[in-house]
Chain A
Amino acid sequence: MIPLSWYIIFAAVLFCIGLYGALARRNALAILMGIELMLNAANVNIVAFWRYGTFAIRGQVFALIVFAVAAAEAAVGLALIISIYRRRTTIAVDEINMLKW
């Protein structure tokens, strides 16, 4: 039916697209979106290996913990972005380059 390699290659492409988004964009929110893409790609990878392996339940547990970590990281990241926007009125990451002004 569907060989495992299809899922792995899909996850690899998604990860590389997210990597480009995280490295090349100037807007902090766009970088956060790239990070979410990378997390989702890793999650697809984990669940694919769980399905094509021996059905040990730890694959799904791993994926659930990744969900929780992604939610926590998105919340803190967005709070940071709002805080930076309040002080500097900019969220372009190459303009936030001084520790104190």
Chain B
Amino acid sequence: MTSVQLVFLLTAAITLYAALMVVLSKHLVHAALWLILVLAGIAVLYVLLNAGFLAVVQVAIYIDAIAILIIIVVMLTQRAMGETSMQVNRSWWLAALTSIVLFVGLVALFNQIPFLQSDAPALDVDAEVLLDDLGVSLVDVDQYILPFEVASVLLLAALVGSIMIAWPRGSASEEEHEA
């Protein structure tokens, strides 16, 4: 058991336990905190996969923006559902069954693909070169500039749309929105 394997197993165990707590927790603020632990664990896994840039982007986008937004909305809507009312709907057993069946099916599928048992190939490029390649590929006309631009338009649409949706009722939602 090498040290990298140990780190992976520890991180995976913590992340999966935290994910279980997210879906089973009665108190929503605690669920949001467990979600932050899951996101941090996944950032560690990205570092293990030599994708350091993605790890930092994960922390910056998920933990610093999405998780904080979720906690704010939890605080704003906390009167709605206390810890005493039911947290799961009537057919929760069906959902659990579906999850388990899906997992068993996926594992059975993976065991039939020999490529998945392989080890990682050697890392023959520098991290600096990888980062340069990533940057160039996002703006190169022959590579992935189109998904990049479409993603920015999507973010702009989401920005404008969420401001319009959450605008307080009655105070001129027909006014010019600020982009």
Residues 97-108 of chain B, each 1 if its beta carbon lies under 8 Å from chain A, else 0: 011101100110
Q: How would you classify the secondary structure of chain A's contact residues: helix, strand, loop or mixed? A: helix
How many inter-chain contacts with C-beta < 8 Å in the A-B complex? 246
Interface residues on B, range: 35 or more
For B38, list chain A residues within 8 Å (CB). Answer: 14, 37, 40
Query: Which chain A residues have a beta carbon within 8 Å of chain B's beta carbons?
Result: 1-10, 12-21, 23-27, 29-30, 32-34, 36-37, 40, 43-44, 47-48, 50-52, 54-55, 57-58, 60-61, 63-65, 67-76, 78-83, 85-87, 89-94
Pick from B89, B96, B110: contact of A26, CB below 8 A.
Answer: B89
For A16, list chain B residues within 8 Å (CB). Answer: 99-100, 102-103, 106
Query: Which chain B residues have a beta carbon within 8 Å of chain A's beta carbons?
Result: 2, 4-5, 8, 12, 15-16, 19-20, 22-23, 28, 31-32, 35, 38-39, 42, 45-46, 48-51, 53-54, 57-58, 61-62, 65-66, 69-70, 73-74, 76-77, 79-81, 85-89, 91-92, 94-96, 98-100, 102-103, 106-107, 110, 115-121, 125, 130, 133-134, 137-138, 143-144, 147-148, 151-152, 154-155, 157-159, 161-163, 165-166, 168-169
